[in-house]
Each structure stands twice: as C-alpha cells, then as structure tokens.
A and B are shown apart, each in its own frame.
Chain A
C-alpha cells in the first residue's frame, strides 16, 4: 500500500496512477517500495521517523509533452507532485518531497544538451543533464567554454541554479541562478511558458537577454513551486588562457578587517576569482588548550589570539587569490593585489603561487605542486566537475545551513561568537570558532558553513542535529543572518524567519500560488509556500 497524499484516498490515487501509466508508459511509473526507497532523503535527520517525508509514487517523463500530461492528470485528480532534476540535492533534502505521498516527477530522463554556443557563451539544457554530462559534451566537441560547477558534478545545472547553488570561478558565474538566462516552464495548468526573450516567438536572444519586456517572473521558479522548469539557459565562461594563484598572510586577528575590504575591492572590480580564506592557526587544533580557547563562550580576546599566533610564529589569517585571463593580465593583477595589501597591512606577506597555461595537465588539476598548503578546490576553480569533495562527507551524510552574512571581517567575528555560543549546548563538532573563516562563494556576500553529520543508525545523534538546526536558524535570524537554502524538513522554519511586515513576502507568494495553482498540486510546501489546500499544515505535515 503506497503512502497516500493527504486528502487523496486509495481509489483516487489508483485512478491517477493508471492515468500516469497511460500517459507516459507503465515502465516509467513506480509505486513499489523498492523503487520508491531511493527517493527518500539519504541524508535525513529524521530518517525512519514519522516526520520523514516519503514519496507515494514516481513518474519519469521523457518529454515536455509528457510533463504537461502528468501535470494535467495531477490537476484532474488533485494529486500533489514534487519535481526533481537529477535528485542530488543532498544536505538539502535530496529527492524527497515536502509532503509525504506526493508523486515525484523525476526529470532525469530529460537529459539533452540542446545547445552550447562558444561565440556568445551559453548553454541550453534539460533538467536531467548533469554537470558531468555538460562537461563531457563540451570536451568531446573541443568547445572553448567553461561551466562553473558546484562541489559534486552529478547534480543538474538546472536543479542547482534553481536552488541558487554556487561555484568556484569568476564572481558572475559563481552565482548559478544569477548566471541563468531564459527558462521554459510547465505551469500548474499544463501550459508551457517561456520567460524573458523566450516569450517572443522566433526570439534570437533567449539565452542572452533574460528580461524580455515587462515583469520577469523567472525568480518565482527558484526555490519555489510555481511550475516545472523543462529548459534553462546558462551563461558560460570563455575558457581563459592562463590561471595564476598567490597567497597573502596577515599577522594579527583584526587584520582580517582590512584584508576583506581590499579583497572585496579586487573581487568587485573583476580582478580575481574566488578568494579562499583560511586560518594558519588550524595547525594548532591538535592542542586541547587551543581548542578550548577558540571555542570559549564569548570568544577569546584579540590580544590572546595574537599572543598565540606570535608564540607559534603563525599568521592569523590567509587568503589565496586566483586570477584568470591572459598571462600578462594575470601577473599584473596579482602584482597589484599583492602590493596593495602589503602596503595597507603591516606585517602582511605574499607568496607567489603557480602560473599555469589552461587547460591544466592532470597533475596540475590534482593541485599537488603549490608552493604552500593550498585550500583551493582546484577542479572547481577550473570548471571541472568531480565527486572528490565527497571526501568531507562523514557518517551517513550531512545536512546544511549556510547563513548569509555581510562581507566584512567584523561580521565574521560576530558570527563566529554568536553561532558558536548558540550551538554549544548540543555537544556536536564545533563549526563556529575563533578561527572559522568565511566562504566567498556568492559574489557579494559571505557565508559560513554548518553541516553536521547525520546517521542512519543513531537516532539520538540525529535528534540533536535536528534540534541544533532549528536553533541555529532562529539565532541567526535574530542577528539578521538568513539561510540561503534549506532541506525540505527545514524550509518552513527558514521561510518563517523572512518575516518582515507580518510575513508579507510569504503572503504575496501564497496569493500568487493560489492564483496560478488553485488545486495546490505543484510541490506544496516547497520554499515554505503552501497552497490554500494544505496551508493549515505549515510547519508540519498535512493530514
């Protein structure tokens, strides 16, 4: 007996499943538990508990027309759908739905790279295309363009863009939703819509000019539930000629403030790729006394941290800079960055990294020859998808919280202290300490990472992680730091924190939802947006 969606009895569900089979073929409609299991969230903090969200069935259409047919059937029978692209949104719910019993619309079979243009530098893809697939397509044809990849290459450029994922190359491309251009969407009534220039029949610039004319609703489909995206344009980076790196270190704790200010200038001026911050004081983590100092409630004083750094002859902070472009331009940009920082921050030091002709050799891609210990993820920095990053995934995976904080050293210090103190009661591995460094993935903000491991077997551990997630969402929001992306189980809590003027943003979104999806069939609850039909269940599961 499958898990039924709320408000849909077994007879109605059976009729809908039969209609799905007739529309797309019985081989591509799954209701057996063995077939549905892989649609659970492998990294769930509520694995095996009543709160876990599980699919009632799966449909796997192969064409846009089949997606339209599925949506129309769902409308007729009031069956909630939950679309996924490649279903690899691990740490954020994986392929699992917001509402148990939903029918997953698995778009993996829609896996065509429709176009790659290396003169105007864009791609047009379907949702089942992975970063690996797109990279292979580009390499096999010798095209001179790069994609900006998130950590794992098995994900979908469409799914990752719609989740507002981030990457590792130049600022514009690192914001994957920001670098999208032109969507095709199946609406809740089954109609097909194109955004931007795509609304103009015969348009020749769909992937070049995202706006078209009038309001641009494309943003509604990112972390939303207003349609099923079946095509997306992605801006691609022209392959650079050279890649150069360099390391800057600064001696004192407060030096992070001027360092960030200047690196922001370099980044916003288009001179550098992702700046990778770290603290050389991590070398002292084997010392229990040092660990106690950096996790002390309220945080250690600047003087204490400077004394420790001085005693061990270690800099307090470092940033690795990356440059892309012609060889001479890369060199000039590095020399400018180096000289400016050394002028501005007493005691700062600079170390030349590598200057490499692109494409890199396999050994260069492995990043084993840097003249210093590098924290750069070299594959990502070169637009090469991989799964090597899975080396950091522990236990049975993890769940992610990445608060968006201002791009200043002062904000980093405050977030280290506030979030570190907030999580102390949960007795989990500390993520926020006095040497925690920011991620400069999004072009204009910092993020910090909270990614506690989960376990399939240890319910008590998972329960602590679950409580800690709810707590950190609340504490961060109280300090003006919102999460950028959330697992299904936490989307209501995160959405609830975006509460300006009595949640007017959510009320606006839900008014739209009721207008364009009156039966509430498209991903109810996704992004914290609930259709009228299930709205009373906000924060839990409809019954």
Chain B
C-alpha cells in the first residue's frame, strides 16, 4: 500500500503557485487553434456538469456549476467559461485528482494535451467575455 498524501500536497501547491501568471499570459494571447480544439473537448467532457445551462428537472444549474456556486458564494463565477484563473496545471490537478463529488479523470478519457487545449479555450472565453463587457 502506497501513501500518496505527501506528493499530492506538493502538486497542489505547485499548481496554485503558477496559476496567476499563466492565466495572465493565456488571457493576453489565447491560441486560436488550441482554443477551438479546447472548445470541442470542453463540450464533450466538461460541459455536461460545468456548462451554463439549467440543471435537470427544475434545478437552476448543472451539478458542477452548482457545486462551485456553493463553494465560492458569489466571489468567483461558478462557470468555468467565465474564469480567467484556470491554467493547464491547475485544471490538470483537478481533472486528475477530482474534488468533492467530481471523480478523477484518466488519461484515456482526456489527455494532458486536451487539458491544455481546454485551458486555452477557457482563457479565450473569459477573455472574450471580459472584452465584450468593456
């Protein structure tokens, strides 16, 4: 039986540490091709829980968005597509480790390259939203 607790903490701290700078870079210059690919990956893999639509049978939000709304209490958008702080390292941490009711996702489900593409898409979508609001 291996213990992975120690390495998990290191990864989390490292991920958070690089989040801010990378998000700024991505928001300034989103890669259009990567973002387009990322949009397709997001639609297939993330949107069923984290999309902006309503939830099922009268629920106001989809489950992932509802969980983030409960977590951040209005301080941060519950919708990933409106977040400019989600770089690839941070996304990869949550995708591979899960959080709360979100399970872990395997490389066969979403590759590291696809996670990077999703990060590019999220940066572009947040950038676009920010630009539109100016």
The distance in angstroms between the C-alpha atoms of A132 and B48, with both chains bound, is 10
Indicate if the CB atoms of A87 and B48 lie closer than 8 Å.
no
CB-based nearest B residue for A365: B56
Q: Given contacts A154-B48, A367-B57, A377-B57, are A90 and B5 in contact (CB under 8 A)?
A: no
Indicate if the CB atoms of B62 and A38 lie closer than 8 Å.
no
Indicate if the CB atoms of A396 and B106 lie closer than 8 Å.
no
CB distance from A44 to the nearest CB of B (A): 11
The distance in angstroms between the C-alpha atoms of A87 and B63, with both chains bound, is 20
Interface of B is mostly: loop
Q: Given contacts A37-B96, A108-B108, A388-B62, are A397 and B103 in contact (CB under 8 A)?
A: yes
Indicate if the CB atoms of A106 and B108 lie closer than 8 Å.
yes
The one of A33, A108, A397 that contacts B109, using a Cβ cutoff of 8 Å: A108
Q: Let me know if B101 is at the binding interface, CB within 8 A.
A: yes
List residues 252-286 of chain A with CB under 8 A from any CB of chain B: none
Using Cβ atoms and an 8 Å threshold, which residues of chain A touch B107? 30, 35, 38
Indicate if the CB atoms of B56 and A367 lie closer than 8 Å.
yes
Indicate if the CB atoms of A3 and B103 lie closer than 8 Å.
no
Q: Which of A48-56, A158-166, A334-342, A492-500 contacts B (4 or more CB under 8 A)?
A: A48-56
The distance in angstroms between the C-alpha atoms of A100 and B1, with both chains bound, is 9
The distance in angstroms between the C-alpha atoms of A337 and B108, with both chains bound, is 48
Interface of A is mostly: loop
Kindly name the residue among A50, A378, A390 whose own CB sees the greatest number of chain B CB atoms within 10 A: A390
The one of B48, B58, B96, B104 that contacts A367, using a Cβ cutoff of 8 Å: B58
Q: A371-402 interface mask toward B, CB cutoff 8 Å, 1 = contact, 0 = none? A: 00010111100000011111101111100000
Q: Let me know if B7 is at the binding interface, CB within 8 A.
A: yes
Using Cβ atoms and an 8 Å threshold, which residues of chain A touch B104? 37-38, 40, 42
Q: Let me know if A450 is at the binding interface, CB within 8 A.
A: no
Using Cβ atoms and an 8 Å threshold, which residues of chain B touch A389? 56, 63
The one of B48, B58, B100 that contacts A395, using a Cβ cutoff of 8 Å: B100
Using Cβ atoms and an 8 Å threshold, which residues of chain B touch A395? 100-101
Sorting the interface of chain B by its residue count into under 10, 10 to 19, 20 to 34 or 35 or more gives 20 to 34
Q: A108-147 interface mask toward B, CB cutoff 8 Å, 1 = contact, 0 = none? A: 1100000000000000000010001000000000000000
Q: Let me know if B44 is at the binding interface, CB within 8 A.
A: yes
Indicate if the CB atoms of B48 and A153 lie closer than 8 Å.
yes
Q: Let me know if B59 is at the binding interface, CB within 8 A.
A: yes
CB distance from B69 to the nearest CB of A (A): 12
CB-based nearest B residue for A39: B106
Using Cβ atoms and an 8 Å threshold, which residues of chain B touch A427? none
Using Cβ atoms and an 8 Å threshold, which residues of chain B touch A366? 54, 56-58
The distance in angstroms between the C-alpha atoms of A90 and B103, with both chains bound, is 8
The one of B7, B62, B98, B105 that contacts A387, using a Cβ cutoff of 8 Å: B62
CB distance from B4 to the nearest CB of A (A): 6
Indicate if the CB atoms of A391 and B106 lie closer than 8 Å.
no
CB-based nearest A residue for B92: A34
Q: Let me know if A60 is at the binding interface, CB within 8 A.
A: yes
CB distance from B10 to the nearest CB of A (A): 11
Q: Given contacts A38-B96, A40-B104, A394-B101, are A374 and B63 in contact (CB under 8 A)?
A: no
Using Cβ atoms and an 8 Å threshold, which residues of chain B touch A376? 57
Q: Let me know if A94 is at the binding interface, CB within 8 A.
A: yes
Q: Let me know if A95 is at the binding interface, CB within 8 A.
A: yes
The distance in angstroms between the C-alpha atoms of A153 and B62, with both chains bound, is 14
Q: Given contacts A48-B5, A108-B109, A153-B48, are A388 and B101 in contact (CB under 8 A)?
A: no
CB-based nearest A residue for B64: A390
Q: Let me know if B49 is at the binding interface, CB within 8 A.
A: yes
Q: Let me know if B37 is at the binding interface, CB within 8 A.
A: no
Indicate if the CB atoms of B56 and A386 lie closer than 8 Å.
yes
Q: Given contacts A37-B97, A154-B48, A386-B48, are A378 and B7 in contact (CB under 8 A)?
A: no
The one of B3, B56, B96 that contacts A388, using a Cβ cutoff of 8 Å: B56
Q: Let me know if A43 is at the binding interface, CB within 8 A.
A: yes
Q: A90-108 interface mask toward B, CB cutoff 8 Å, 1 = contact, 0 = none? A: 1000110000100000101
Using Cβ atoms and an 8 Å threshold, which residues of chain B touch A368? 57-58
Top 6 nearest A-B pairs (CB, nearest first) are: A388-B56, A42-B103, A390-B63, A38-B104, A108-B108, A393-B101
Known: A35-B106, A94-B103, A106-B106. 6 other contacts (CB 8 A): A37-B97, A48-B5, A88-B103, A108-B109, A388-B57, A390-B64
6 A-B residue pairs with CB within 8 Å: A35-B106, A54-B2, A377-B56, A387-B62, A390-B64, A397-B101
